[in-house]
């Protein structure tokens, strides 16, 4: 867990222009090792604190389950972006996720807040997805991003080439939607009472 610092482990993506702190299958073993450590839920926060001034934004990609790794992400972040499919089970999982975020805010990280909900893999031809989308907007209001990421073949192809969709095919509808979302996200973060320099991105029930 302490064999390298964030500065030593981060690598610059020459094709995309940002720094990446990559993970592999060995990260699963960290879950077990963390249990025996003091302040185990804040190990990532301590590691990122050393490079906090080097970046405008830090995005932490987390799974939807409340594992020790996800808890570290929530304790390190100022805000949470929740990408979710507009499907029934995703809507059910969202309630649990929001409650988890509230608990972390109350007990471990008072800076944590929900930046917004992002609708992804959206197909407007499916009536259920339209209904769930309306439910989200009705319940969460302006917490739902205006940007919507459509279901898009070119985005799905991009990982097989080792590239993000916006680089693989900038003209694709999905890529353009992500660019619009990025602009909206930055504007939203800058308007928050305390600008979030660290953000967690979590999948919810999908």
- Token code pair at residue 193: 């009472």
Q: Is 80 helix (H, G, I), strand (E, B) or coil?
A: strand
Residue (of 45, 44, 39) closest to 23 by Cα position? 44
Flag whether 29 is in a domain. Answer: no
pLDDT, residue 199, reads: 63
**Is there a domain that residue 133 lies in?**
yes
**CA 23-156-6 angle, 5° bins:** 20
Residue 193 has what pLDDT? 65
CATH number of the CATH domain containing 132: 3.40.50.300
What does the pLDDT profile of the chain (206 residues) look like in tens digits?
457 889 998 999 888 888 998 887 777 777 778 877 788 889 899 999 999 888 888 999 987 777 888 999 999 999 999 999 998 888 888 888 888 899 999 999 999 999 999 999 999 999 999 999 999 999 999 999 999 999 999 999 999 998 899 999 999 999 999 999 999 999 998 887 654 556 666 544 33
Owning domain of residue 144: 57-202
- What pLDDT is stored for residue 52 in this prediction? 80
H helical segments located in 77-126: 88-107
Residue 38 domain flag: no
φ and ψ at residue 29, rounded to 5 degrees: -70, -25
Question: Tell me, what's the pLDDT at 196?
Answer: 53
Q: Would you give the DSSP letter of residue 15?
A: T
DSSP characters over 56-69 = S-EEEEE-SS--HH
Question: Which of left, alpha, beta for 205 (phi over 0: left; psi -120 to 50: alpha)?
Answer: left
Instruction: Answer whether residue 42 is part of any domain.
Output: no
The CA-atom distances, in angstroms, between 79 and each of 3, 7, 74, 156 are 28, 23, 8, 27
Contacts 24+ apart (CB under 8 A), 11-20: 15/163, 15/167, 16/163, 16/164, 16/167, 19/55
Residue 204's pLDDT is what? 42
Position 48 in a domain? no
Q: Which two tokens stand for residue 179?
A: 């660019």
Two tokens, residue 157: 């192809």
Is residue 2 in some structural domain? Answer: no
d(CA 46, CA 66): 20
CA distance 116 to 150: 17
Overall number of domains in the chain: 1
Whether 26 is covered by a domain: the verdict is: no
């Amino acid at each position: 867990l302490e064999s390298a610092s964030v500065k030593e482990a981060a690598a610059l993506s020459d094709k995309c222009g940002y720094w990446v702190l990559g993970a592999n299958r060995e990260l699963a073993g960290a879950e077990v090792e963390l249990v025996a450590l003091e302040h185990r839920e804040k190990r990532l926060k301590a590691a990122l604190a050393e490079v906090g001034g080097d970046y405008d934004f830090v995005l932490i990609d987390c799974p939807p389950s409340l594992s020790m790794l996800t808890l570290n992400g929530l304790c390190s972040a100022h805000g949470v972006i929740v990408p979710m499919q507009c499907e029934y089970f995703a809507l059910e999982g969202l309630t649990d996720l929001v409650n988890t975020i509230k608990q972390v805010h109350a007990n471990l990280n008072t800076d944590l807040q929900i930046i917004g909900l992002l609708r992804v893999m959206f197909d407007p031809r499916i009536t259920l997805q339209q209904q769930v989308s309306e439910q989200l907007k009705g319940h969460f209001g302006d917490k739902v991003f205006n940007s919507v990421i459509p279901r898009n073949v070119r985005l799905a192809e991009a990982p097989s080439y080792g590239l993000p969709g916006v680089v693989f095919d900038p003209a694709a509808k999905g890529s353009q939607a992500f660019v619009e979302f990025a602009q909206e996200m930055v504007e939203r973060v800058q308007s928050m009472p305390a600008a979030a320099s660290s953000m967690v991105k979590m999948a919810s029930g999908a």
